[in-house]
Amino acid sequence: MIDPARPLALVAGAGHLPELVAASLDRARRPFRVLAVRGFTERAMRRRADAVVDLLDIPGTLRILKEWAPAAVVPAGGVTRPSPAALLNAAHAVRNRDILKSLAGGDDRLLRAVLSLLEENGHRVLGVHEVAPDLLGRLGRLGRVEPDSDATLSIASGRAMLGALGPFDVGQAAVVAGERVIAVEGPEGTDRMLARARALNRKPFGRGTPAKGTVLVKLPKLGQDLRIDLPAIGPRTVRRAAEAGCAGIAIGAGHTLVIDREATVAAADAAGLFLIGVEVAP
Amino acid sequence: MIDPARPLALVAGAGHLPELVAASLDRARRPFRVLAVRGFTERAMRRRADAVVDLLDIPGTLRILKEWAPAAVVPAGGVTRPSPAALLNAAHAVRNRDILKSLAGGDDRLLRAVLSLLEENGHRVLGVHEVAPDLLGRLGRLGRVEPDSDATLSIASGRAMLGALGPFDVGQAAVVAGERVIAVEGPEGTDRMLARARALNRKPFGRGTPAKGTVLVKLPKLGQDLRIDLPAIGPRTVRRAAEAGCAGIAIGAGHTLVIDREATVAAADAAGLFLIGVEVAP
């Protein structure tokens, strides 16, 4: 167990997530320090930053964390797909061509490498799901709408298919209508997959109306390191799913971040979509 | 066995395929009659038509085929995604709402239903792959380029992944780079999947150059009725695959139509892409 009195080190990447984690830690009265990453951390968190590092300034980061000696390091928010400026800065900070290449590739090998490095230096690395579990979707219905029998079948076949894809390095979400798979997520991400599903509905002789019981199923992969890659949904996911003709969204309970839960649930209720947490291991 | 002296009935749907099949039958000196489908059969085949039917005029079609008593009926070319006019005509011809619905849905349930009906009426139905096997890709290399070791790994992982997807109603192709799956084909079809893979390469911080050994793997599903849904590639597929950064294309040998083989192979050679037929059951 980690010492709850010792501060955590929240490494704040891009997006809204670091703020949500900070708020969750505040609610839990967990002390923490904020390490901002230049070019990634949003303004709200930059204001709370106790220190700022350059992306990939590994020596500088290790120095600060050694001084802080946090109970655990908590990375939150993206640091992939950096701006050209950030990439150039990083190129000055590190000589490691492999790390730079994976950074440029936008995949998560970089984060994996950094996490290993932190652990090699004696730090414990915890995921958002471990320090702020209140941000995750729980088992069962989250909003007012219940899935009907068509949707329930879609959820089951979507879970089975994503399970079969488990051994392969492919997306963690699909749009499913009954036993028919409308789209499997690749590196393009959930939003673009939903845009594709939407386009398929609109075809001159697509169904016009989408197939009954169309569902977005979003689950982590087996063995996925949630500290690096935590599946997430938010109000935008709900809007896109509604536009794609989905009757609802099924997420892996305890394994999926629900960004801005109130707004997400309100959006689902307003659009008549169900939102349900399902068990991750079928 | 069917009697090679008795004419076949070639039911000519949309596209270039009926012409290719006719040419193959001509080369093999197999006699055949052509049944055109109003609004679908292209001009070249309409000229050769021995009779014309309205889409979904099942009684009329059965009457003609009874008269012809062909050795087998060979459907070739699409009849899904009809024009609004064709759909209206069809609505007059049939009262079967389920068939009309599946027609409007653009899926192959209609063809399945029609094939069953033909078989119930004593007709044998053969696929293009059975009467014109020279149109299919054979095992092994089709062009001049050989897959390298990266591409060979991609082919293996693509085959394994499509195999795992076998039980699910999802596309029959994928773009794979080593063990990473770039895109899985859904109802959008191979061309659009390739466009997606291309877009992923172009991202500001996509690799810029595509991942080494990126391959389009296109295989029939286990148990797929090739009479209804024969995977196909052509010169356009090669162009799109090249644009998507593919090093080559792997197809199921004996299970994939190579439309306009000479042009397809020439396009692959010109673009430096390999084209290889692999065994369908791994």
pLDDT digits (tens, 9 = 90+) for B23-35: 999 999 999 999 9
User: Is the pLDDT score of A223 beyond 80?
Assistant: no
The residue among A81, A83, A98, A181 with the most chain B CBs within 10 A of its CB, best to mutate, is: A181
A202 close contact with B: CB closer than 8 A = no
B180 close contact with A: CB closer than 8 A = yes
User: Is the pLDDT score of B121 beyond 70?
Assistant: yes
Nearest by CB to B180, which of A80, A161, A169? A169
Give pLDDT, residue A22. Answer: 96
Contact B36, B45 (CB under 8 A): yes
Give pLDDT, residue A105. Answer: 47
Give B110 to chain A, closest Cα distance, Å: 14
Q: How big is the A-B interface in CB pairs under 8 Å?
A: 95
Kindly state the average pLDDT of the residues B167-193: 90
B158 close contact with A: CB closer than 8 A = no
B98 close contact with A: CB closer than 8 A = no
Q: Do B170 and A160 touch (CB under 8 A)?
A: no
B206 close contact with A: CB closer than 8 A = yes
Of residues A222 and B51, the one with the higher pLDDT is B51
Give pLDDT, residue A228. Answer: 83
Residue A204 pLDDT level (bands cut at 50, 70, 90): very low
| Average pLDDT of every residue of chain B | 86
User: Is the pLDDT score of B77 beyond 90?
Assistant: no
Give pLDDT, residue A272. Answer: 96
Kindly state the average pLDDT of the residues A182-194: 91
Give pLDDT, residue A93. Answer: 52
| Average pLDDT of every residue of chain A | 86
Within 8 A of B207 by CB-CB distance, chain A residues are 104-105
What pLDDT digit, counting tens, does each position of B229-255 carry?
888 999 999 999 999 999 999 999 999
User: Is the pLDDT score of A236 beyond 90?
Assistant: yes
SS3 B268: helix
Domain B136-278, CATH class in plain words = alpha beta
**How large is the ipTM?**
0.72
Give pLDDT, residue A107. Answer: 54
Kindly state the average pLDDT of the residues B175-181: 91
Give pLDDT, residue B84. Answer: 57
Q: Do B165 and A164 touch (CB under 8 A)?
A: yes
Q: Which residues of B18-39 are buried (b: 16+ CB within 10 A; e: fewer)?
A: bbbbbebbeeeebebbbbbbbb
Q: Do A82 and B170 touch (CB under 8 A)?
A: no
- Give which of A24, A262, B117, A112 is closest to A8, Cα–Cα: A24
DSSP characters for B151-172? HHHHHHHHHHHHHHTTTSB--S
Give pLDDT, residue A91. Answer: 55
Spatial strand order in the sheet of A180-184? A140-141, A274-278, A248-252, A214-218, A173-177, A180-184
Of residues A49 and A106, the one with the higher pLDDT is A49
Mean pLDDT comparison of A84-88, A208-212, A268-272, B228-232, highest-scoring range: A268-272
Kindly state the average pLDDT of the residues B190-217: 79
Give A88 to chain B, closest Cα distance, Å: 13
Kindly state the average pLDDT of the residues A239-250: 96
User: Is the pLDDT score of B82 beyond 90?
Assistant: no
pLDDT > 90: percent of chain A: 58
B252 beta partners: B278
The residue among B205, B216, B222 with the most chain A CBs within 10 A of its CB, best to mutate, is: B205
- Give which of A253, A279, A251, A275 is closest to A265, Cα–Cα: A275
Give A83 to chain B, closest Cα distance, Å: 8
Give A205 to chain B, closest Cα distance, Å: 6
A186 close contact with B: CB closer than 8 A = yes
Contact B229, B218 (CB under 8 A): no
Provide the sign of the torsion angle of the four alpha carbons B76, B80, B84, B89, taken in this order: positive
SS3 A142: coil
Within 8 A of A106 by CB-CB distance, chain B residues are 203, 205-206
Contact A15, A81 (CB under 8 A): no
Kindly state the average pLDDT of the residues B219-227: 84
Other beta carbons less than 10 A from residue A116's beta carbon: 11
Q: Do A205 and B81 touch (CB under 8 A)?
A: yes
Give pLDDT, residue B106. Answer: 47
User: Is the pLDDT score of A220 beyond 50?
Assistant: yes
Give pLDDT, residue B150. Answer: 94
Nearest by CB to B186, which of A84, A183, A208? A183
Kindly state the average pLDDT of the residues A210-224: 87
CATH code for the domain defined by B8-133: 3.40.50.20
Other beta carbons less than 10 A from residue B105's beta carbon: 18
Give B75 to chain A, closest Cα distance, Å: 21
| Least confident interval from A81-90, A212-221, B218-227 | A81-90
What pLDDT digit, counting tens, does each position of B144-166 carry?
999 999 999 999 999 999 999 98
Q: Do B168 and A188 touch (CB under 8 A)?
A: no
Give pLDDT, residue A106. Answer: 47
How would you class A27 by CB atoms within 10 Å of its CB: exposed for 0-12, middle for 13-18, buried for 19 or more? exposed
A189 close contact with B: CB closer than 8 A = no
Domain A8-132, CATH class in plain words = alpha beta
Residue B55 pLDDT level (bands cut at 50, 70, 90): confident
A199 close contact with B: CB closer than 8 A = yes
Give pLDDT, residue B205. Answer: 41
User: Is the pLDDT score of B210 beyond 80?
Assistant: no
The residue among B181, B203, B212 with the most chain A CBs within 10 A of its CB, best to mutate, is: B181
Kindly state the average pLDDT of the residues A199-226: 77
Kindly state the average pLDDT of the residues B173-202: 90
Give pLDDT, residue A78. Answer: 74
B168 close contact with A: CB closer than 8 A = yes
What are the domain boundaries of chain A? 8-132, 136-278
Give B221 to chain A, closest Cα distance, Å: 14
Give pLDDT, residue A92. Answer: 53
Q: Do B106 and A81 touch (CB under 8 A)?
A: no
Q: Which residue has the tokens 């390490």?
A: A35
Give A105 to chain B, closest Cα distance, Å: 5
Give pLDDT, residue A109. Answer: 65
- Give which of A212, A224, A105 is closest to A165, Cα–Cα: A224
Give pLDDT, residue A1. Answer: 64
Q: Do A170 and B161 touch (CB under 8 A)?
A: yes
Mean pLDDT comparison of B47-51, B82-86, B98-102, highest-scoring range: B47-51
Residue A209 pLDDT level (bands cut at 50, 70, 90): low
Give pLDDT, residue B282. Answer: 52
User: Is the pLDDT score of B278 beyond 90?
Assistant: yes
Provide the sign of the torsion angle of the four alpha carbons A129, A131, A135, A141, taken in this order: positive
Q: Where are the beta strands (DSSP E) in B71-144?
A: 73-76, 140-141
Phi, psi (5° rounding) for residue B239?
Answer: -60, -45
pLDDT > 70: percent of chain B: 85
Residue B85 pLDDT level (bands cut at 50, 70, 90): low
